Amino acid sequence: MLIERALPTSLCLFTLLVGCCGYFDSHGQEDEHCFCKLQDRIIDDCSCNVDTVDHFNNVKVYPRLRSMLTKNYFRFYRVNLKRECPFWVDDSKCAIKYCHVEACHESDIPPGLKGASKSKTCSAKKYLQPKGCDDDHNDELGYLNTTISAKAEEDFVLWQAHDDAQDKFCDINENDNDAEYVDLLLNPERYTGYKGKSAHRIWNSIYMENCFRPDNTYNAYIESELLKGMCLEKRVFYRAISGLHASINIHLCANFLKLESGGISLASPKGEWGPNVDEFNRRFSSSKTKGEGANWLANLYFLYLLELRALAKAAEYLRKEPFYTGDEAQDWDTQLAVQDLLNVITKFPDHFNESIMFSGGQEMKKLKKEFKEHFRNITRIMDCVGCDKCKLWGKLQIQGLGTALKILFDHDTSWPKAISQKRVFNLERSEIVSLINSVGRLSTSIYELDEFRQLSR
């Protein structure tokens, strides 16, 4: 993913616990490490601390997600990596071998994902018919089909598409003609060498132009000062982006090319991939980040709880999802795995509480609209990333976060109770895949943090 942290990203206030923990850098020098400030730390705007989340994730959530994400339903992601950057001309294409993403051949795609069996009309109405669109006849609703003209059916699809577009926080369309299926297991997120001016411009555009800020100044490293007086909604936006950025950086440090003694370079890699403590310290240690590294990591925990809450809120809906790929045995196994994960997540008592956000009059409605527009713009910035593998994982995780925000702030996610509902809650397959994978990436980051904690002692 994107390598350089262009700007500090922890825009929140925390109570810092600053005792000496005896951590050392790779040269044996004692450092007031970011882990010291994370220990027993309360996660702002949530009701639990870092240690509680560590145990819950590493023992209960991470092992389940690690297994579940190997299932065909979640490993194949449809994405368009060919879109032009809509904001600037960028010729900084990555020539490194490991930047390349190999799309799936037609024969590799599970038959149930090819999407030729159901029409758009059927998809738009699938939650209005209790037995699904595959039924040729339904005694209770059959009379409706005899009175709706073909033109009305077509208009219904257009209306539904328009409503769905208004719901989305992301400008990502899996039905794009240039979209292709990618096997995520064959294209893992790891360090590619993509850095410098292009990567800085991506993050600079995200933070400076699309995040809420109290004024036109940005004082690097004194981010907590910038949050004073800002409302919860704007803080949440900052911290979600910051947490995503921290998570991405952890993945890159944990999957770094270990250069061999012969001087193997990224241009012709023959070494092994693994954790790089020096790189982790450069990005997060207190001495290298003017004390801000722990704040960035704490935002990772905040985002993790936010996305877990989205999964818990959508649990009833997801329990009824067939997770269809055409492989009956694996589809059934996937349903059971999802049920098991949801049972664990819904029992966790300390999720993020979204109910206190966007409550109020016209001012809050205006802010919510602006919130959504800012996030959509960030999804478009992902088309400006100059490394295909970075773009792939950036798009997936941004869409996952956008799906979480849609669940939290746009709908009552309970299964449809009446046909008379104005709009039926619906998730496209790409939204489900991106959300589960996004939670998986955050869960992996927290798990990998524990490994870096051990390596840094």
HSE-up (13 A, CA, CB side) for residue 24 = 5
Query: Is 387 an active-site residue?
Result: yes
Query: Is 46 an active-site residue?
Result: no
Task: Provide the β-strand partners of residue 7.
Answer: none
**195: exposed, middle or buried (Cβ count in 10 Å: 0-12, 13-18, 19+):** middle
217 is written with which tokens?
């100044």
**Annotated binding-site residue? 159:** no
d(CA 435, CA 342): 13
**Annotated binding-site residue? 245:** yes
Count of all residues that appear for the chain in the document: 457
**Annotated binding-site residue? 190:** yes
- For every residue of 356-383, DSSP letters joined together read GSS-SSHHHHHHHHHHHHHHHHHHHHGG
**Annotated binding-site residue? 203:** yes
d(CA 234, CA 211): 8
Where would I find the beta strands (DSSP E) of 148-268? 180-183, 256-258
Do the beta carbons of residue 46 and residue 305 sit within 8 Å?
yes
Cα torsion 264, 266, 270, 272: sign: positive
Taking each helix axis as running N to C, give the angle between helix 277-284 and helix 232-254, from 0 to 180 degrees, rounded to the nearest 10: 160
Do the beta carbons of residue 277 and residue 226 sit within 8 Å?
no
Catalytic center residues: 387, 390
Q: Annotated binding site for FAD: which residue ranges? A: 190, 192, 203, 242, 245, 283
Q: Annotated binding site: which residue ranges? A: 190, 192, 203, 242, 245, 283
